[in-house]
Amino acid sequence: MFGTYDRPDQRNMLDRTKQGVIGKPLDRPEGHLKVAGQATYAAEYQRPDCAEGVLVGATISKGRVTAIHRDKVMAMPGVLGVYAAQAMLRRAAQGTAGQAPAQDVQQVDFPLQPVALVVAETFEQATAAAKALQIDYDDQSADAVFVPSREMAEPATEPTEAGDIDDAMTQAKHVVDHIYTTPGHSSTAMEPHASIAEWDGDKLTLWGSFQMLKYNIKELADSLGIASSKVRILSNYVGGGFGSKLGISHDAVSAAVAARELGRPVRVVLTRQQVFQIIMRRSETEQRVRLGADADGRLIALGHEAWVSNLPDEAFAEPVTQATEFLYAGENRRLAIELSQICRVTAGSVRAPGEAVGMQVLESAMDELACQMQIDPIELRKCNIPSVVPGDGTQYSSRKLVEALDQGAKAFGWDKRKPNPCMRREGEWWIGMGMASAARVNILMAAQARVTMRADGSLLVQSDQTDIGTGSYAILGQIAAEMLGQPIDRTEVELGDSSLPHGAGSGGSWGASSTGSAVFRACEAIRGVLAGRLKCRPDDLHLQDGMAWAEGIAPRPVTDLLDGDIAKIGLIKPGKTSKNYQQATYGAFFVEVAVNAFTGETRLRRMTGAFGIGRVLNEKTARSQCLGGMVWGIGSALTEELAFDNRDGHLVNHDLAEYHVPVHRDIPKMEVIFVEERDGVASPLQAKGVGELGICGAAGAVANAIYNACGVRLRDFPMTPDKLLADLPDPFTAAS
Ligand code: MOS
């Protein structure tokens, strides 16, 4: 099929072009606007006569709305309307257009689920009225289950089984068999979910904060019962998403419903508390890991079983074992995920769904095995790198795990690590080092982009691709400038408008490589036109700084070849390269911690990450993605934890004062190394995804460093001082 990516592209096209901007650590073109507060985010648009909406959450955990007493609040100052249409009660979608289950008008599935929208002239009036709104319920909370349990869990997918793991565990010379737990996490992006809806006849324009516009217009259209051609979404700047904006949320639908009824624009902005309470969480997990190794450390048994949760009727189950499927050897395997249905806010994709928590646990268990065997943890990993995917024999695309382990270890100074705990003490502090592998699946998504070379040679790149803080504006411009030989300041990038050709959207780390491949292909088409006019083969065409030439054809301004704009749409779709290869990014983390011998406080001292992500498209934005991921890993290791009240399922720590993400003071010197790599199987850019890799295993490296420092092996994340304190060695008598 046209555009399908079936054959690996090994031409190294972007190594042969001359402009020299690809991969360079160029600034984001929108960076100045952002730091100067001039980039307009969804809630900041000024629309004439815009009314303000505030969502009202259910005060029961489960049940039905039986009456909404509108009259009293309608009489309050400035109040314009109270809306409770079916669509507004819909749970946040997960980026699955048309597949969100139809939901009962008045059904409440979790605490504080939005059940009404109050609209007023001002935000304050709407807030006051929302607080005063009386709602009657048929409260069925007594029947609800609030705590996940293994007993009620059902298989979420077909387990992966090979050989006989129980038998292999009894045969193995060295075994690890432990239960680990990770808590729920919240994305809680810096920009809260926000929407402004405005109708022009039957056409809706919505300024919002989303990751995947081509799906989001369908979701919104489905919710409103209109055609998606009637919906336009604008998301020019998105202040983070991390999965929470893959799908639409209550703000978008309720703003659209109210604006249609009122005949004027309506803005709905979630409070920080609402972002926590009603936007999806990462499921807590319970994970059993079984490792059985022979005398040389080769795995003969590998078990990874996980128990996760979601609301009834929600199919998403945190894919905890995703990387375990292909990362390490072990002929006897059992990998499984089971799902409990519980009454807590919807669980969904949060940065690196699966690997984020799966790798942190797998890599903790690998460290336990290495320590037990008294071998270097890096060596244990290296001797378990399979040649083909265990079980199904699939080939790997490019895989730079060994290189990442080696280069990371060297840069970090891993050779200075003490082999056993409690061997390094500085004053009150135990010092330790730990490492972990990183792995994350790589995905190519269908994408389109339009590139225009204008008559003056300048370039315009257009797609509905979003930039969620990841660098899309910079990267897509660099690809076009490189391919078409123009300076970056002659390259303009327009994104985040659903009326433009549909990019891949931002999710699953695929944005830059997928939409970038569409830009690449549009540029190839333009190069084809230019080569025809210059009378050379496209691959022989050289373009640089506005000049065009080829072997035997003297340089001339590219504008000589132009009699108007050349506009081409580039298209890419996943094909045989996606089916026939196991594609992933790999890396390694190295961490040095100090654990206070008296208080159990852990402080990060240094962290190094080495990553193989295929071609690096922009060294600065790629590095920032890795740093961000590593910071998430530190949060996951030490501080982040959603706390639910087991009596009624409500989220207790629903703000950034109580849900602890790391702050600048928590983050030490960080180093990111990119391993040289080209992966032509992954994309014609030979690039892979990078956004999520930096979190996948990072918390395991922290856990392993803590063990190396003080000998405490915690299997319950996050590793807060209270948990460490219980097992710390006597600070006065332990060997130093
Ligand atoms: Mo991601 S969690 O697919 O935005």
- pLDDT for position 89: 65
Q: Read off the pLDDT band of 106 (50, 70, 90).
A: confident
Q: How far is the CA of 353 from the centre of ligand 1 (A)?
A: 7
Whether the pLDDT of residue 102 is over 60: the answer is no
The reply to whether ligand 1 has any atom less than 6 angstroms from the CB of 349 is yes
Nearest alpha-carbon partner for 348 in 319, 380, 377? 319
Alpha carbon 238 to chain centroid, angstroms:
14
- pLDDT for position 575: 97
- Of all atoms in ligand 1, which is nearest to the CA of residue 468? 4
Across the range 614-621, mean pLDDT stands at 98
Residue pLDDT, tens place only, 537-590: 999 999 999 999 999 999 999 999 999 999 999 999 999 999 999 999 999 999
Say how far apart CA 445 and CA 456 lie, in whole Å.
33
Q: How far is the CA of 245 from the centre of ligand 1 (A)?
A: 8
The reply to whether ligand 1 has any atom less than 6 angstroms from the CB of 241 is yes
Across the range 251-270, mean pLDDT stands at 96
Q: Is 692 a catalytic residue?
A: yes
Q: Read off the pLDDT band of 90 (50, 70, 90).
A: low
- pLDDT for position 2: 81
Report the phi/psi class of residue 39: left, alpha or beta, with left for phi > 0 and alpha for psi in -120 to 50: beta
Say how far apart CA 442 and CA 431 lie, in whole Å.
35
Per the listing, tokens 């309050």 go with 76
Which of 188, 351, 696 best tests ligand 1's pocket when mutated (most atoms within 8 Å of CB)? Answer: 351
Q: Cα separations (Å) of 397 from 378, 579, 690? A: 22, 11, 16
Nearest alpha-carbon partner for 438 in 585, 587, 582, 327? 587
Across the range 257-263, mean pLDDT stands at 96
- Give the strand pairing for 429-441 and 584-596: antiparallel
Say how far apart CA 270 and CA 187 lie, in whole Å.
14
- pLDDT for position 95: 58
- pLDDT for position 735: 58
Q: Read off the pLDDT band of 70 (50, 70, 90).
A: very high
Share of the chain above pLDDT 70, in %: 97
Q: Read off the pLDDT band of 104 (50, 70, 90).
A: low
The reply to whether ligand 1 has any atom less than 6 angstroms from the CB of 189 is no
Q: How far is the CA of 352 from the centre of ligand 1 (A)?
A: 6
Whether the pLDDT of residue 93 is over 90: the answer is no
Across the range 498-521, mean pLDDT stands at 98
- Calculate the average pLDDT of the chain: 96
Say how far apart CA 289 and CA 336 lie, in whole Å.
11
Whether the bond between 155 and the residue before it is cis, its omega within 30 degrees of 0, is no
Whether the bond between 718 and the residue before it is cis, its omega within 30 degrees of 0, is yes
Both tokens of 102, joined, read 């139809």
What domains are defined for the chain? 4-39+445-574 (3.30.365.10), 42-143+190-281 (3.30.365.10), 389-443+580-725 (3.30.365.10)
Across the range 121-131, mean pLDDT stands at 98
Residue pLDDT, tens place only, 193-217: 999 999 999 999 999 999 999 999 9
State the amino acid at position 500 in one-letter form: L
- pLDDT for position 650: 97
Nearest alpha-carbon partner for 279 in 342, 186, 354, 356? 186
- pLDDT for position 586: 98
**Active-site residue, selected from the candidate residues 305, 403, 482, 692:** 692
Whether the pLDDT of residue 452 is over 70: the answer is yes
Q: 3-class SS at 248?
A: coil
Which pTM value belongs to this model? 0.97
Which of 96, 246, 318, 693 best tests ligand 1's pocket when mutated (most atoms within 8 Å of CB)? Answer: 246
The reply to whether ligand 1 has any atom less than 6 angstroms from the CB of 711 is no
Per the listing, tokens 């970038």 go with 516
Whether the pLDDT of residue 311 is over 60: the answer is yes
- pLDDT for position 733: 78
Whether the pLDDT of residue 321 is over 80: the answer is yes
- Residue 437 phi/psi, 5-degree rounding, is -80, 160
- pLDDT for position 142: 96
How many C-beta neighbours within 10 Å does residue 164 have? 15
Q: How far is the CA of 437 from the centre of ligand 1 (A)?
A: 21
Say how far apart CA 136 and CA 151 lie, in whole Å.
34
State the amino acid at position 105 in one-letter form: V
Across the range 681-696, mean pLDDT stands at 98
- pLDDT for position 96: 53
Across the range 579-608, mean pLDDT stands at 98
- Residue 723 phi/psi, 5-degree rounding, is -70, -40
Q: How far is the CA of 444 from the centre of ligand 1 (A)?
A: 14
The reply to whether ligand 1 has any atom less than 6 angstroms from the CB of 319 is no
State the amino acid at position 232 in one-letter form: R
Say how far apart CA 462 and CA 714 lie, in whole Å.
49
Say how far apart CA 699 and CA 188 lie, in whole Å.
19
Whether the pLDDT of residue 103 is over 60: the answer is no
- Of all atoms in ligand 1, which is nearest to the CA of residue 349? 2
Whether the pLDDT of residue 484 is over 80: the answer is yes
- pLDDT for position 130: 98
The reply to whether ligand 1 has any atom less than 6 angstroms from the CB of 353 is yes
- pLDDT for position 94: 64
Whether the pLDDT of residue 403 is over 60: the answer is yes
Whether the pLDDT of residue 91 is over 80: the answer is no
Q: Please say whether the beta carbons of 56 and 250 come within 8 A.
A: no
Q: How far is the CA of 721 from the centre of ligand 1 (A)?
A: 30
Across the range 623-638, mean pLDDT stands at 98
Say how far apart CA 134 and CA 118 lie, in whole Å.
12
